[in-house]
Amino acid sequence: MYIMTDVKIRPVRKEDGPILWELKYGAKEPEWKKWDAPYFSFVHVPRDEFLASFRYEEESPDQWVMETDGTVIGTLGYYWEHEPSKWLEMGITIYDSAYWNGGYGTAALRQWISHLFNTLPIVRVGYTTWSGNKRMVRLGEKLGMTMEARMRKCRYYNGEYYDSIRMGLLREEWE
């Protein structure tokens, strides 16, 4: 495990394409996928296909990268669950397990939440995870998020049922 020195988030750049492909698809069965919705199939995308459709900077305001000491270690993103009501969901993935449990995710998601509240007309941010990803639940709790919903035994993975968990945070709770 690395010791956190400095975590920065920034928009995705064109030169991040090959790096992100390697982080996401470089391994046949990546370790990160065991925690990031593993009940959904992992679909390998060939490098050329990934790079041909790769969006960055102004084309991709909904996805940023996190880096430490100049090394890209993961991504942050958001999507509209229901844009007319400004219901936004976000996510974070750290691809290299050497950076897990070192405070990188907490530092990056703290910056991402501030960025979203400062740039979008939203009153709430949230994410969905599963009860098998205890680190992600703990991350939300560390950032002051509330467990808003727990759908029991609706995720099936490796012969076992898990709960789906929704975490959320209101603007006034963040400020």
Residue with tokens 């050329």: 48
Would you state the pLDDT for residue 1? 57
The conformation of residue 32, written as its DSSP 8-state character, comes to G
74: burial class by Cβ within 10 Å (0-12, 13-18, 19+)?
buried
Segment 80-93, tens digit of pLDDT:
999 999 999 999 99
The sheet with strand 87-94 has its strands ordered as: 7-11, 63-68, 71-82, 87-94, 124-130, 160-170, 146-157
Would you state the pLDDT for residue 5? 64
Would you state the pLDDT for residue 58? 82
Which pTM does this prediction carry? 0.92
38: burial class by Cβ within 10 Å (0-12, 13-18, 19+)?
middle
Compute the distance between CA of residue 83 and CA of residue 95 in angstroms, rounded to an integer: 29
Compute the distance between CA of residue 99 and CA of residue 97 in angstroms, rounded to an integer: 5
The conformation of residue 62, written as its DSSP 8-state character, comes to T
CA-wise closest residue to 124 among 172, 70, 166, 82 = 172
Q: Which parts of the chain have pLDDT scores under 70?
A: 1-5
The secondary structure of 99-145 as a DSSP string is: GTTSSHHHHHHHHHHHHHHHHS--SEEEEEEETT-HHHHHHHHHTT-
Strands 124-130 and 146-157: what pairing? unpaired
Give the chain's domains with CATH numbers: 7-174 (3.40.630.30)
